[in-house]
Structure 1
Amino acid sequence: MNIAIIGCGTMGMTYAYNLGKMPGVNVSGTADLLKERAQDAASASGGKAYTDWEQMLDAESPETVAVCVPTYLHKEFVIKLARRGIHIICEKPAALTLEDAREMKQICEEQGVRLFIGHVVRFFPSYADAIHKVRSGKIGTAQMAHFKRHGSYPQGSELWYHDPAKSGGVIMDLMIHDIDYACWLFGDVESVYASVTDPSISGIEYAQITLKFQSGAIANLTGFWGYPGPFTTQFEITGDQGLIRYDSNQVQSLDLKTLAGLSKSQDAVQVPSSPALHDPYYGEVKHFIECIQSGEEPIVSISDACRAVEVALACKQSAQTGQPVPMGGTAS
């Protein structure tokens, strides 16, 4: 697979490191407006550095391009690449509006190219393990979940995150990870209710979301930009026969407690995931490349990505109005 990278910031470098060590993959080029960043990504991946992405495409003829530019530029690059007949792996969220996300999906389908959106949380071992345990009935019927995602504000060259018109803010950029995962867990959302602090007043951006699903399940999400500690993710999924907990600050990967275990007066069953040889971003992009080669459907589809955008936008509307927002259906 001949692949190139456009955008060599934090995520572009992550792709460069992973693609550079992936068997059967040749990173032919890395492009960024900042020459030094393009060169750093080229050094990590074995590709050639460019400051002009179109020149890179003309010179290297990649089959697939990883789009790691800021969110507000996703649509522009995805559509231009699709019209060149190039498959696309694009960072999340798909776009800042549902209309743009749907247009990206439509044009890629019309051009006969594959579009993948990097909702990488589905590839984190503990999150994937939790889904497997829920679907195998380990905790009975899952009815309630709580997700937390806390981190510092992006710094340095990533200050575009601070402009909601470019990043979508904490809900669209950070919390969309857990929005997508909650939808993967529980299905379509019936209504949302959200609140968020004003970072211009508080100096932090903290959001709380309640998602009510058509299945009757409820998920509560919190997201925090400006957290003073290490990046932290947590979740708890509760069923009628037990619960699953995860905390990234703990050594153990997963904590599974079941009513059956309690009835036998046993301690909670600790089920750690095996240490992974590669990080989840490696597994994600490897999966997408395999889907291009085989024609199979990915773990996270473009319709899933559109749904996550739709739910995130409804949450932002609720936070602005202070009222619950009903969902109109799926975003496929």
Structure 2
Amino acid sequence: MKVVVLGCGGLGHVHADAYTKLVGVELTGVCDLQMDQADKLSEQTGAPAFYSFEQMLANAEFDVISITLPSYLHKEYTLLAAKARKHVICEKPMALSLEDADEMMKCCENNGVRLFIGHVVRFFPEYVSLKQSLDSGAIGRACVAHASRAGSHPGDAKPWYKDRARSGGVIVDLMIHDLDFLRWTLGEVKTVYAMLSQNEQLEYALVTLQFESGAIANVEANWGFPGPFHTKAEIAGNAGVVMANSLKSSSLQIHKHANGTSAPTVAIPESPAFKSPYELEIEHFIRCIRDGSEAIVTAKDAYKALEIAYAALESARTGKPVQL
């Protein structure tokens, strides 16, 4: 199977590296408008460098495209790829509006190609274990959950993150990981209530979710946190509690720049597992394309996570809970 990567930033490197390790997969192109970025990733992987999507489409043979561009470009290039009959693996958030997300799903379906969205938290072993602990009945019926993630402001490295019209802000870009995980674990969300605080250095959100099951979850996301990037999650049931903390859950911790340089970069969560969650995710998506099976996280799941995120933004704007 032949694949290309569109966008040669931090996550572009992650996707390209994962493809080079997969048996039966050939990376046939990497592409970025910033020629030096494309050339650098080309040197690292051996794949040809291209400097526009159109150039790559005309000159590279591929079945699948990884879209690791800024969020505001996801829709445009997903539609172009789908119309060219290419399967799409796109980073989260799926899009910056529900209308755009819906258009992406319909375009891929109409052109007979698969659409996968990179909600990678579902592939982190600790989060999988949290869900398995609940599903197995080990902690009884879920009553209360808490999830949080915090790190430096990515806008310090990539200014477009500070423009909510282009990034969606901390809820749509960062918290959406936990919104997807909690819906995956606890079921459909009934009510969303949110508070949001923002200035040049900090963006903090606190969201309370009420689930149709009756469970309640509090979710925090913080851009501008002065310490290292970290995540926490816990689920309390009527028979016990299960929890994970990225700062405490492993004796081995990895902290490195996203693109291997000393330049300012956007933090990418790491796992000390033999295979990174990103490798597991991409390997899974490729397998789904090969055998036609349904993905662990579907485009519809990504749409629902986006729906919760925008309900949270609406709640923060009005000061009122939003019913889904």
Q: Pick from 275, 278, 302: which aligns with 2:275?
A: 278
- Aligned match of 1:97: 97
Report the identity percentage.
Answer: 47
How far 1:46 sits from its partner (Å)?
Answer: 2.4
- Aligned match of 2:120: 120
* Structure 2 unaligned regions, length at least 5: 252-270
2:265 pairs with 1:250: no
Q: Pick from 298, 304, 309: which aligns with 1:307?
A: 304
Q: Which amino acid aligns with 1:318?
A: S
Matches within 5 A, 1:1-332: 1-155=1-155, 158-200=158-200, 203-252=201-250, 276-327=273-324
- Distance across 1 between alignment mates of 2:134 and 2:2: 38
Q: Which secondary structure state, in structure 2, belongs to the residue aligned with residue 145 of structure 1?
A: strand
Q: Which secondary structure state, in structure 1, belongs to the residue aligned with residue 137 of structure 2?
A: coil
How far 1:18 sits from its partner (Å)?
Answer: 1.5
Q: Which secondary structure state, in structure 1, belongs to the residue aligned with residue 49 of structure 2?
A: strand
Per-residue CA distance 1:71-108 (angstroms, 9 max, x = gap):
11111100110001000000001001111101100111
- Distance across 1 between alignment mates of 2:98 and 2:211: 20
- Does structure 2 retain, via aligned residues, the 8 Å contact 1:93–1:172? yes
How far 1:39 sits from its partner (Å)?
Answer: 1.4
- Distance across 2 between alignment mates of 1:250 and 1:156: 27
- Distance across 1 between alignment mates of 2:18 and 2:24: 12
How far 1:156 sits from its partner (Å)?
Answer: 5.9
- Does structure 2 retain, via aligned residues, the 8 Å contact 1:20–1:46? no
How far 1:42 sits from its partner (Å)?
Answer: 1.6
- Distance across 2 between alignment mates of 1:160 and 1:25: 33
Q: Which secondary structure state, in structure 2, belongs to the residue aligned with residue 197 of structure 1?
A: strand
- Does structure 2 retain, via aligned residues, the 8 Å contact 1:152–1:228? yes
Q: Which secondary structure state, in structure 1, belongs to the residue aligned with residue 195 of structure 2?
A: strand
- Distance across 2 between alignment mates of 1:90 and 1:42: 20
- Does structure 2 retain, via aligned residues, the 8 Å contact 1:30–1:41? yes
How far 1:44 sits from its partner (Å)?
Answer: 2.8
How far 1:117 sits from its partner (Å)?
Answer: 0.2
Q: Which secondary structure state, in structure 2, belongs to the residue aligned with residue 171 of structure 1?
A: helix
Q: Which amino acid aligns with 2:163?
A: D
How far 1:252 sits from its partner (Å)?
Answer: 4.0
- Does structure 1 retain, via aligned residues, the 8 Å contact 2:233–2:244? yes
Report the TM-score when normalising by structure 1: 0.89
Aligned CA-pair RMSD? 1.4
* Structure 1 unaligned regions, length at least 5: 254-273, 328-332
- Does structure 2 retain, via aligned residues, the 8 Å contact 1:21–1:45? no
- Distance across 2 between alignment mates of 1:98 and 1:190: 18
Q: Which amino acid aligns with 2:84?
A: R
- Distance across 2 between alignment mates of 1:275 and 1:8: 24
Report the TM-score when normalising by structure 2: 0.92
**Residues 221 and 87 of structure 1: CA distance in aligned 2, closer, same or farther (over 3 Å):** same
How many corresponding residue pairs? 305
- Distance across 2 between alignment mates of 1:174 and 1:157: 15
Greater gyration radius:
1
